Amino acid sequence: MSKTGALDLASGVGGKITKDEVKSAVEEYEKYHVCFGGEEETRKTNYGDMVNKYYDLATSFYEYGWGESFHFAHRWKGESLRESIKRHEHFLALQLGLKMGMKVLDVGCGIGGPLREIARFSSTSVTGLNNNEYQISRGEELNRLAGLNESCDFVKADFMKMPFSDNTFDAIYAIEATCHAPDAVGCYNEIHRVLKPGQCFAAYEWCMTDNFDPNNETHQKTKAEIELGNGLPDVRTTMQCLEALKLAGFEVIWEKDLAQDSPVPWYLPLDASRFSLTSFRLTALGRLITRTMVKALEFTGLAPQGSDRVSSFLEKAAVGLVDGGRKEIFTPMYFFLARKPLSES
C-alpha cells in the first residue's frame, strides 16, 4: 500500500534522519552538486553518504507522486503510465528468461516495486540489494502486505562491495540504479563476480546520449540539474557504459536506447505543458499543489525544516529531465543484455 496522504508524505521526509537534522542534511547534500559549487570527484569519493542522504530525503516524495516503482518506461499510445511501468519490468524479466526456481538479484532495488512485480510475473525468488536503511524498511513492509516476504528479501549493502559469494545468482538486473555507482567498471565487476557463468545481467541505465556536447554550457546545466535532483555522482555516456561492461568481462548480447523508439516520450509525465488526471500528482498543477502543501506542513511543524528544499531540488530535476529528453541528450533507459562467459579466457 502506497503512502497517499499529505501527513504520510510529511512524516516520511528524512527517512532515517532525525527530523531536527533534515535541514542540515539537505544543506550537506546540496553542497555535493555543481549547482551549489560541488565537484564530481567529491561526489564520487563520498557517493555512499550522498546517495543515502538523497534517498532518505526523497523517497517519500517519490512514493507519493510515482508509486512503488521509481523509474520511467518505454510507453505505447493509449497506455497509462502505470501500465507502461509494469510492461517495462516484464520486458526485463522476459529478456533474462526468468523461470520458477531461479535465484535473482535486483541491484539497487529501491523500496522493491519492480522486485515484487518481477517476482510475481516470473515466479522467482528475488533478493533486493540496497544500501539505504529507510528504503529497506519500507520494502519489507510492502513485501509483507503483498505476501512475498517468504520468497523475496532485502540485503543492506553497497553494490560496489557485495556480501555474496562468487557465482551465486542465476540472473541479475538493475533498473535506473547503477547510475549511482562512482565507477561503472567496479560496479559491473561485482555483478559479474556474483553472477553464475553462462547467465545474464540486464539493466536500464541513465546516460547522456551521443547528442550530448560536453562543451555546450546549456547541455552541462541540464546534466547538473539531473545529477542534483537524482543523487548522481556523474551521468555517463552510453558508450562509457558499453565499454565498462566489456572491461568487466561481459559479452554484450544486445543494447539499445529504448527511448529512441518510444511512441510516447518517456519524460511526458514530468512535462509542465501537459495535464493528466491519471498522473495528476506529476503534472505542473499537481506538483504546485504538493509544493504548497509541503510549505504549509513545514510552517506548521508537521513536516521537518528543509522539506520544501527537498521539493525544490526535485522540481529542478524534473526541469532537467524534461529538457534532456526534449533535446535527446539524456536517456533513462539505455538497455543492455549481457552474459557472463561460461569460461574466462
209-251 pLDDT, tens per residue? 999 999 999 999 999 999 998 999 999 999 999 999 999 999 9
From the list 63, 89, 117, 176, the catalytic residue is 176
Q: What is the mean pLDDT of residues 291-302?
A: 77
Domain with CATH 3.40.50.150 in the chain: 86-211+221-263+333-339
Q: What is the pLDDT of residue 64?
A: 83
List the strands of the sheet with 195-208, edge to edge.
Answer: 153-156, 125-130, 103-107, 169-175, 195-208, 330-339, 251-257
Q: What is the mean pLDDT of residues 36-40?
A: 91
Lowest-pLDDT range, 70-74, 200-204, 275-279, 334-338?
A: 275-279
Q: What is the mean pLDDT of residues 101-122?
A: 97
Q: What is the mean pLDDT of residues 272-291?
A: 63
Q: Is the pLDDT score of 275 beyond 60?
A: no
At residue 13 the predicted structure's pLDDT band, cuts being 50, 70 and 90, is confident
At residue 22 the predicted structure's pLDDT band, cuts being 50, 70 and 90, is confident
Q: For residues 37 and 35, what is the distance between their CA atoms, to the nearest angstrom? A: 6
Q: What is the pLDDT of residue 210?
A: 97
CB count, 10 Å around CB of 164?
Answer: 16
The predicted-structure confidence for 79-99, as pLDDT tens digits, reads as follows 999 999 999 999 999 999 999
CATH superfamily of 86-211+221-263+333-339: Vaccinia Virus protein VP39 (3.40.50.150)
Whose CA is closest to 81, among 89, 72, 90?
72
Backbone angles phi, psi at 291, to 5 degrees: -60, -45
- The reply to whether 21 belongs to the active site is no
| Contact assessment for residue 71 and residue 177, using Cβ atoms and an 8 Å cutoff | no
Terminal CA-CA length for the chain: 48
**Mean predicted lDDT score pLDDT of the chain:** 90
